[in-house]
Amino acid sequence: MKMRKKEKVEMLIEILEKLYPETPIPLKHRDPYTLLIAVLLSAQCTDARVNTVTPELFSLADNPMDMIKLSIEEIQKIIRPCGLSNNKSKAISGLSRILVDQYEGEVPRNMENLEKLPGVGHKTASVVISQAFGQNAFPVDTHIHRLLTRWGLTEGKNVIQTEKDAKRLFPEEKWNKLHLQLIYFGREYCPARGHDPMQCPICSQL
């Protein structure tokens, strides 16, 4: 007999809680600003690679006031290993200028203002809101979209629809932690390629 979605959700939460009782944020950061920059850099780049690049960048500028003193070319040279360095360096410089000019150097604490910043999309804003400020959000990236589709919890054609489904299915107080638990689980047990469902603690149960 096929499992109902409610039963699947309960099982997922139980398994993920056992596997990942602690969920450290994979991106190294010190405060909301350095998290924002790290998340921006992680677009189409691994967290591990971002973590090799940010120490050099943050040693020069770990706040918007110092960042705007660097030229776009200087930023680009450091972040080149992360890919899309042309766009990302302009976004980092641009958003830092806006933070200084409009927000007294502070990262805004709401989605609307975050999403207006250059290079900051909905997912990036959701991560910052949830992980830097502890507000309930469910950032859905392509990996979480893949998992929830694989487990029959969404038929969403994109991450926006999948996020809506995830927010409907999972208790709001668990969103922030679940987002990270799913990322860790996908990397360790449920990859896109070379996946053996029978060896996966969740797929083998469905």
Contact criterion met (CB below 8 Å) for 8 and 165: no
The amino acid at residue 36 is: L
Does the pLDDT value for residue 1 go beyond 60? no
Residue 120 sits in the same domain as residue 63 = yes
Greatest C-alpha distance within the chain: 62
Backbone angles phi, psi at 192, to 5 degrees: -70, -40
**Domain shared by 15 and 88, yes or no:** no
Residues 41 and 118 in one domain: yes
Residue 87 sits in a domain whose CATH number is 1.10.340.30
Query: Where a domain ends, among 95, 114, 132?
Result: 132
The pLDDT score that the predictor gives to residue 146 is: 94
**Phi–psi pair at 45, nearest 5 degrees:** -150, 150
Q: Give the domain range for residue 12.
A: 5-24+137-205
Residues 106 and 147 in one domain: no
Under the banding of pLDDT at 50, 70 and 90, the label for residue 75 is very high
What is the set of active-site residues? 123, 141
**74 lies in the same domain as 121:** yes
Pair (75, 167) in one structural domain = no
Q: What is the DSSP letter of 201?
A: T
Whole-angstrom distance, CA of residue 100 vs CA of residue 202: 46
pTM of the model: 0.91
Specify the length of the chain in residues: 206
- Please, what is the average pLDDT of the chain? 95
Rounded to whole angstroms, the Cα distance separating 138 from 130 reads: 8
Neighbours of 178 (CB within 10 A): 23
Last residue of a domain, one of 91, 112, 132: 132
Whether the CA torsion 164, 170, 132, 183 is positive or negative: it is negative
Q: How high is the pLDDT of residue 26?
A: 93
Distance CA 27, CA 42 (A): 9
Number of domains comprising the chain: 2
Taking residues 119-144, report their average pLDDT. 94
Domain endpoint, select from 132, 152, 167: 132
**Residue 152 and residue 97 share a domain:** no
41 and 114 in a common domain: yes
Lowest-confidence range among 13-22, 62-71, 134-143?
134-143
Same domain, 127 and 198: no
Q: CA-to-CA distance for 71 and 33, rounded, in angstroms?
A: 18
CATH number for 160: 1.10.1670.10
From the CB of residue 74, how many other CB atoms can be counted at a distance below 10 Å? 16
User: Are 168 and 187 in a shared domain?
Assistant: yes
Specify the pLDDT at position 2: 63
Q: Are residues 14 and 48 in the same domain?
A: no
Same domain assignment for residues 180 and 90: no
